[in-house]
Structure 1
Amino acid sequence: MTSTDLPAQDAPRYVRLSIELIAEITDEQALKAAALAQVENDEYLDDEERTQSVEAIEVDPSGSLAHFIDPVALLGDVPGIELTSATWESAHTEYDPEDESWDEYSVEASDEADGE
């Protein structure tokens, strides 16, 4: 079924958009300082959330990146779209840029994954 086969409806259609990014932390102290400043200046955090965020940054500075993710900025100016829900997280990962299995656009990597 294609989008042209769908019946016309007045109700909104929801789309789950999944994005995976891999970022290299090149200066952990700079990231940590910027995240702490971001949390300090976030007018939407209450005191308890602010305290939890600061503690999380102190324990694992790699989690600092999550404080810079803004789904509203990604979709806020797209006509005909209203952001209804967003969740995200950051986590350590093993990454080898030379490993072709990380290249989703590589024909060879997808062939290997398919067992060909």
Structure 2
Amino acid sequence: MSTSETTRFVRLRVDLVLEIDGPAELTEAAEGRIDGDEFMPEEERVQARAAAREDSAEALAYLVEPFDLIREVPGIEMVQASWSTEEVEYDPDALEWDLDEEDVEGTDDTDDVDGGGRA
């Protein structure tokens, strides 16, 4: 079988740092998404609303959908998705925020990532 006849899997990694300058608007949008989720059981919905009110990172997790990034890309099918959010201290001048960190020798890009969820 030639390379063009075999299935190829590609891991796309996206690392974003966002500044939340409207926490009330973020929480309101997250609650709207949670309330509009017809498949979420009521008990989970209550917990999700509380988590979104208490933690902006959690609110953001309810609004970000990895599939939206690739929805209109032709010739692909999403097999697995995973994402998480966390509040961080951000200093754009610190080495830990160097965007080229993936180019560091010894970086292993073959780690297995478990399937979807919110942190």
TM-score (norm 1): 0.72
Tell me which residue corresponds to 1:45.
Answer: 40
Q: Structure 2 unaligned segments of length 5 or more: list them.
A: 106-119
Larger radius of gyration: 1
| Contact in 1 for aligned 2:66/2:81 (Cα 8 Å) | yes
Tell me which residue corresponds to 1:54.
Answer: 49
The Cα shift of 1:74 comes to 1.1
Tell me which residue corresponds to 2:7.
Answer: 12
The Cα shift of 1:45 comes to 2.3
Tell me which residue corresponds to 2:31.
Answer: 36
What are the superposed Cα offsets for residues 45-84 of structure 1, whole Å, 9 maximum, x if unpaired?
2323322311211332331111111122111111110111
Q: Which moved more, 1:42-51 or 1:30-39?
A: 42-51
Alignment RMSD: 2.6
Does residue 1:98 correspond to 2:117, yes or no? no
Identity of aligned residues (%): 34
Q: 2:67 aligns with which of 44, 65, 72?
A: 72
Q: Structure 1 unaligned segments of length 5 or more: list them.
A: 1-5
SS at match of 1:85: coil
TM-score (norm 2): 0.71
SS at match of 1:94: coil
The Cα shift of 1:18 comes to 1.2
Are the structure 2 counterparts of residues 50 and 10 from structure 1 closer, same or farther at C-alpha, using a change threshold of 3 Å? farther
Figure out how many residues of one structure are paired with residues of the other and give that number: 104
Report which structure shows greater RCO (CA 8 Å, sep ≥6).
2
SS at match of 2:3: coil
> Distance in 1 between the 2:82 and 2:47 partners?
17
> Distance in 2 between the 1:71 and 1:100 partners?
27
> Distance in 2 between the 1:48 and 1:7 partners?
51
